[in-house]
Structure 1
Amino acid sequence: MNEKVSVIIPVYKVEKYIRRCIESILVQTYQNLEIILVNDGSPDNCPMICDEYARIDKRIKVIHKANGGLSDARNAGLKVFTGDYVYFFDSDDYIASNLIEIALNTAISSSSDLVIFNYYRVDENDNLLSTSNFNSGTYEIADHNRVDYIINKLAKYTLGWEAWNRLYKADIIRKNDLYFWDNKVIFAEDFGFSLNYALHANKITCISDALYYYLIRENSIMSQAAKEPRLSAAIELSKLMEDKINTSFINTILHKEYPILFYSIMYEQLRGVTKENYEKSITSIDDKEYFYKNLRRVIGRPLLLYKYYGLVRASVVFMICILLKTRSFNKLNIRILESYKKRWKISEVFEINKSKMSSKKRIFLIGSEDFNDIKGHHIAISEKEYLKNTFPEYSIIEITASEYKAFRHILSFIIKRRDLVCISSGGNLAKVNSLTDYIRRHVIKRYKKNRKVMFPQTIHYKSTKDGTLQEYQKDQDFINKSKKLILCVRDQSSYKLAKQYFKCKIVMMPDPILYSNYNNRFNFEREEAMLLLHSDMEGALSWQDKEFIENILRKYTKKIRFNDTILNSDISVFDREEVVDSFMQKIAKAQFVVTDHLHGMLFCAITQTPCIILPIYNEKIEEVYEWISKSNFIKIISDISELAERLEELSKIEKVEYDNTDILKGFDVLT
């Protein structure tokens, strides 16, 4: 292969990340590259760093320009590139060393106009957040199926639409004068470019390889859910697409079936319309005339909806468009809109559990983690593993916390009296106004006559100024009125309190995470230290303490990894096992872990990783530690001054000893 690949990298305020980005492109196994760094008026040291690399490698060209935004920076690169293929790369991300080679080889061998690959979402601690899972295959596109490709592959995100997980053929960009539309005006400039390119590409190949590392920065736009849907920006994108089709594709299927393209472009933003923002979202639309005109066009083509969406989804889209067209903000319209959105959520859950729903013996695991807490996701994995092994004749149906909140009322028609209901371990019985607390009480009240198990909890009700116990009376009322309930607790103090407060059956059981065992699963050379500390409200260490700990650790290793079990983006249950496994590998690679996490301690136990638990005055840790106290590689210190001495002891351990035989016996209480 002699083809030149032009790599266009817009650069703006990424001083912390730019070197890793550039280094990952310089070490590509395919070397015939033109690397265009576009400094978009970055006010930090990025311009200097770009020039520094240009002096080192002759393949690098640097463009310095006034700030104009992401689209403008990419377009500056498109004006000067000379390659046979084009690859766009964001400057706070990094790529696999063989990305260009694999993508280019695929493009040439398959004669594809576009090659798409998967990507990893990672946080600033290199924790895996998710992996895309696009439909691999080769897609032949012609006039008769181009609309279908745009609607059911591109807009539906089954192949993604980002600029940076695609290798483009340069001739298509040049011949059709393709460029990025202004990201300050439209919704999702990457989506816009992918739509534009899809109008001209005739063969597209998607491969299963994940080759790109997409960084989700803390507090970044992408790490948080959008507060309001950007309907006006989506409308502007729709108008640009319609202008392009009216100019270059008049009297084609694209032109005749544009109404369905309009809805597919608007779809992502319409999904964000809720009962809370409904009125504000609709009234904020700049070009209402265009919006309502196209809604009428969609409503007027029901057979077109059926052709591309099928009967069920077409009827939902049809009804949504009618409701939006009425311009009425009455409560009935909003409730109907919400009910249709909930129906999609319910259908997803039922699709996943389709084969299990018809089973005569069912266990419903309710309230499991589907947010951003690694420990909660690991608990769910361990609970499901335990239930599957302990009750093999039962089908396990998981209903996560957000799913239960969304359609708890419908579940009461699905869960039968013969079903076993398990409430996922929430950590502690006493959290005030938490979702976990709400779900626990709602399940206990709604399913009074079902056999129920509340997985291990810690109980520590706190006294108020008048001497009463917060939340105690509420839990006592719910629990004592419920029949057939087994309450599992994970420490002796909680057991005594539970016996004192509640009339149900009380049993001692280890934390669910201890059901898992990674013995012989990982075989890494331990070469770094990990500082696994709370960054949320539970953290109790000062920056001076952290600096003290860091200085001591550097006596044993040069590399220190900082981490937390709370990630900066929610984790899908579909990605859960891969994300948790990646996190556990990082712990297993550590020579030492110093933590103030209870579950950090448990993670170290099941991966046989030497660990020191810091004194944070948390009553949960010492009592849960009793389950693993025979392990010679886990130490609790009462004062930070003991750290150096305990580290020295751990460094001299020749063989890590972890026998979970007695721990597993603790899980027999339900059998």
Structure 2
Amino acid sequence: MNNPLISIIVPIYNVEVYIRNCVDSILGQSYENLEIILVDDGSPDKCGDICDEYRSKDKRIKVIHKKNGGLSSARNAGIDIASGEYLGFIDSDDWIESDMYESLYNALTSHKADISVCGRYIVDGSRITTISDSEKAEVFTRSEALSELVLDEYSGMKNFAWDKLYKKELFNDIRYPEGKYYEDIFTTYKLFSKSNKIVDIKSPKYYYLLRGDSICGSNTASKRYDYCLANIKCLEYIKSLEPLLGDMCDKQLFNRLHFCLNDMLLLDYGTDDYVIEINEIIGKLKQNYSILRNSDEMGLKQKLSLMFIANYSNLYTTIYPGYKKNKTKIINLLKPIISKKVLNKMKYIKLKGKGSKETKYLYETKPEQNHIFLIGTPNHGNLGDQAIVYAENKMLEDNFKDFKIIEITTVDLIKHIKNLKKNVKKDDIFMLHGGGNLGNEYFWEEEGRRKIISEFKDNKIILFPQSIYFKDTENGKLEFDKTKMIYNAHKKLTLIAREDTSYSVMKEAFPNNNVILTPDIVMYLNKTNPIQERNGALLSLRKDREGVLTQTQKDEIKNMAEKNFDNIIITDTVAEYITKEHEVLEYMINVNQREKELNKKWDQFKKVQVVITDRLHGMVFCAITSTPCIVIANYNHKVKDTYAWLKDLNYIKFVNDIEEIPGLIKELKGIEIKEYDKTFAMKNYEKILEVMKQR
């Protein structure tokens, strides 16, 4: 029995650069029973011809050529001719994972839902950020799903049309509003309100491309007004349908009306083209004043803003845009003469104020429980750094089961400082993320450490195994002196070096602190099993600032490998996505993705006979997966000194000169590998545990 037909509607306008990538990703779906409706919305470029070309190649494709009417008009045209039992939408500059519709269909049918939703990737330049990633689906009732739309949280369910699969019958009496921006906000709540059950699979399947030249990338008073109208209709309807969500709707309505009012006042400043619309928004705020000022959901600042707008609206509309414009002008005039340090301080204060409210939501501290705060962890795609925090968490979970471990990334640290200072108890422990960034090369990491060490003088603070490297320049010496002063002032600070050179530097630079030596924390792991069949070679060579190999040398290494192996994999210890045009995009990895991405990389290492790398964690990954490895020195001491911990492993070989590689390849191809034994590392890690358990 065939799976039911899914109709996928793609509105197309002026995207000839992107359209092939989009359509190819649909044609490559594992769910094959598709009707693909390409709607050429009067596109002035070659999109129409490209659509016809695809129709001639695949009988599942239908093409509509129509006069330009906008996104809603194009979607509606597709809905009108769709013959599938289910509907999906894709924007023509985006693309999807090969199993997106299979995953959405399976979730929808297995949970007997009316709509299924997936997570998404945001593609911004060369970086991919994952929004909502989990292996566990979540099922929502109508009321619960509508509350998600009201909250409109970053990682929650959103109004987007394109990350969902719908039963087609939901659209029997619903179409997207033509001639309006924010058509999704005008429409999605209606579809949710007709649904008994909605399932969110969380797993990201949709790649959403951020483009400055797109409709969504621009901002006008007209667009802001449509955003305002859409939210009024959406929130007032939900409030009438689900009275228990009333207070939440009132608060969000104020927030969005206030945002639109401020934005429109600025966009309309000096033209007065939208006076009527601005007065409508003010009228709506006044109309809701008596309800909103008594709402438990509203904060004091919000109530004061509302009171001022309701009682002194003429004054507000006169003062606000001038104040904002002049403030921007003044800041731009002062920027060249204000030191970077002062500007960073201003930014810090602003972020700190913003974050104080949301921190409590992001984590909870309990008075009766002790906490370990793991500070400065990464959200970028470097898998070496991700492996470090993975191992740090494993060590803490294995040995401190009575503590609650709270992880705070470098990016989020400033937002947490205010609430940390309020909630941290004297017996709570701060563990600073380890790695190779103690220095002025990755200065933002060092700034975060300094902030914690300065602010929490009564707490035990331990720096997980690190390498230290301040450049021998005027700036390097200046920053090193600052670090010495701040670190030495803390009486409960323990610094852990991960190799001898750093240990010697730390012992001399930080006489007031406890300094110990252990291996890189990733050696705490053993990822040898399950054992994989090995074939070929893997090259993992740096492309960043720490790499010293020239392209000619890299080509030579590749030629050496090709003479000995039929299968060559060229990769890196960075999570990457390679586009069809061979452009490399870096995945930004969140906590939920970490283990999955690391296991993918470790499995890749376990399937080859030899790895050739100049990455420290390329070498360490080989060690913990029992994979033969040739490691090449880089520009500082980190790789060579870390090799000292692993030199007794017969399958790890260090070279200073690439001419040594061919001989070592032959040696490693015939070697009998001794499985990774981490006993040596565990003996050293006892020193960390001893410091943590001291009272």
TM value normalised by structure 2: 0.74
Once residues 305 and 348 of structure 2 are traced to their aligned partners in structure 1, the CA distance between those partners, rounded to angstroms, is 11
Counterpart in the other structure of 1:496: 504
Pairing 1:422-441 to 2, within 5 Å after superposition: 422-431=431-440, 434-441=443-450
What is the aligned partner in structure 1 of residue 359 from structure 2? 346
Residues 229 and 281 in structure 1, CA contact (< 8 A), matched pair in contact too: no
Q: Which residue of 1 aligns with 2:579?
A: none
**Is contact 2:19–2:47 with CA below 8 Å preserved after alignment?**
yes
Q: Compute the displacement of 1:489 (Å).
A: 0.6
State the superposition RMSD in angstroms.
Answer: 4.8
Q: Note closer, same or farther for the CA distance 1:107–1:409 as it changes in structure 2 (3 Å cut).
A: closer
* From 279, 283, 286, the counterpart of 1:289: 279
Partner of 2:150: 151
Does residue 1:613 correspond to 2:631, yes or no? Answer: yes
Residue in 2 aligned with 1:214? 206
In the alignment, what sits opposite 1:358?
368
Q: Secondary structure at the match of 2:519?
A: coil
1:205 aligns with 2:202: no
Match of 2:486 among 478, 482, 490: 478
Change in Cα spacing, 1:107 to 1:457, as seen in structure 2 (3 Å) is closer
- The C-alpha deviation readout for 1:264-313, integer Å capped at 9, x for no partner, is 47868989x9xxxx98886236653344333334433238x85xxxx356
- C-alpha separation between the residues in 2 aligned to 1:85 and 1:495? 62
**Equivalent residue letter for 1:215:** Y
SS at match of 1:17: helix
Q: Secondary structure at the match of 2:374?
A: strand
Alignment partner, residue 367 of structure 1: 376
User: Structure 1: how far apart are the matches of 2:543 and 2:119?
Assistant: 27
**What SS does the aligned partner of 1:388 have?**
helix
Note closer, same or farther for the CA distance 1:358–1:117 as it changes in structure 2 (3 Å cut). same
Q: C-alpha distance in 1, partners of 2:201/2:43? A: 35
1:623 aligns with 2:620: no
Q: Does the 8 A contact of 1:130 with 1:579 survive in 2? A: no
**What residue is the counterpart of 1:401 in the other structure?**
410
Cα pair 1:87 1:166 within 8 Å, conserved: yes
Query: Aligned equivalents of 1:387 and 1:602: distance in 2?
Result: 20
Task: Give the aligned partner of residue 162 of structure 1.
Answer: 160
For 1:651 and 1:160, locate their aligned partners in 2 and report how far apart those are by CA, in whole Å.
53
Q: 1:233 to 1:492 in 2, by over 3 A?
A: same
Letter in 1 for 2:414: K
Kindly state the Cα deviation for residue 375 of structure 1 after the two structures are TM-superposed. 3.1
**What does 1:211-290 align with in structure 2 at a 5 Å threshold?**
213-215=205-207, 220-221=210-211, 233-240=223-230, 264=252, 283-284=266-267, 287-290=277-280
Deviation at 1:498, TM superposition (A): 1.9
Distance 2:44 2:56 in 1: 21
Opposite residue 613 of structure 2, the aligned amino acid is T
- 1:194 maps to 2:212: no
1:531 CA displacement: 4.3
**Partner residue, 2:591:** 573
Range 527-536 or range 495-504, more displaced:
527-536
- Comparing 505-514 with 162-171, greater Cα deviation is found at 162-171
Q: Secondary structure at the match of 1:301?
A: helix
* Secondary structure of 2:430 counterpart: strand
Any unmatched runs of 5+ in structure 2?
Answer: 269-273, 311-315, 328-346, 577-585, 691-695
Partner Cα distance (2:357, 2:664) in 1: 54
How many pairs are equivalent? 630
Question: CA separation in 2, counterparts of 1:499 and 1:250?
Answer: 63
* Corresponding residue of 2:472: 463
Question: Quick one: which amino acid aligns to residue 664 of structure 1?
Answer: M
- Measured in 2, the distance between the counterparts of 1:584 and 1:130 equals 24
Matching residue's letter, 1:611? C
Assess if the C-alpha contact under 8 Å between 1:9 and 1:36 holds in 2.
yes
> Matches of 1:596 and 1:266 in 2, distance apart?
55
Retained in 2: the 8 A contact 1:147–1:261? no
Whole-angstrom CA distance in 2 between matches of 1:105 and 1:422: 40
C-alpha distance after superposition, 1:485-534 (max 9, x if no partner) = 221111111112222222122210111222122231x4544557554444
Measured in 2, the distance between the counterparts of 1:649 and 1:51 equals 57
The 8 Å contact of residues 116 and 159 in structure 1, kept in 2 or not, is answered as: no
Q: Answer yes or no: is the 8 Å Cα contact 1:229–1:269 preserved in 2.
A: no
Aligned to 1:8: 9
What is the letter of the counterpart of residue 226 of structure 2? E
* Contact 2:104 2:116 (C-alpha < 8 Å) held by counterparts: no
Q: Percent identity?
A: 27
2:532–2:606 Cα contact (<8 Å) kept: yes
Contact 2:108 2:199 in 1 (8 A): no
Instruction: Give the direction of change, closer, same or farther, for the CA distance of 1:71–1:563 in structure 2 (3 Å limit).
Output: farther
Cα deviation for residue 458 of structure 1 reads 1.4
Determine if the alignment matches structure 1 residue 179 to structure 2 residue 189.
Answer: no
Q: Which amino acid aligns with 1:165?
A: D
Distance 2:551 2:636 in 1: 19
How far is the alpha carbon of 1:206 from its aligned partner?
A: 0.9
1:304-323 counterparts in 2 under 5 A? 306=295, 311-312=296-297, 318=303, 321=306
Partner amino acid for 1:103?
Y
- Of 380, 385, 388, the match for 1:379: 388
User: For each residue in 1:598-648, what CA deviation from the matched residue of structure 2 results, as whole angstroms up to 9, or x when unmatched?
Assistant: 223222322333434344333211111211222333333333454454444
Name the counterpart of 1:21: 25
Secondary structure of 2:424 counterpart = coil
Sort the Cα spacing of 1:561 and 1:240 in 2 relative to 1 into closer, same or farther, 3 A.
same
Instruction: Describe the SS at the equivalent of 1:669.
Output: helix
Cα separation, 1, equivalents of 2:8 and 2:153: 25
**Deviation digits for residues 421-469 of structure 1, max 9, x if unmatched?**
3222252432268232122223333333433322222123332369x93
Structure 1 residues 179, 639: closer, same or farther in 2, change over 3 A? farther
Extract unaligned runs of 5+ from structure 1: none
Write the letter of the residue equivalent to 1:197. Answer: L
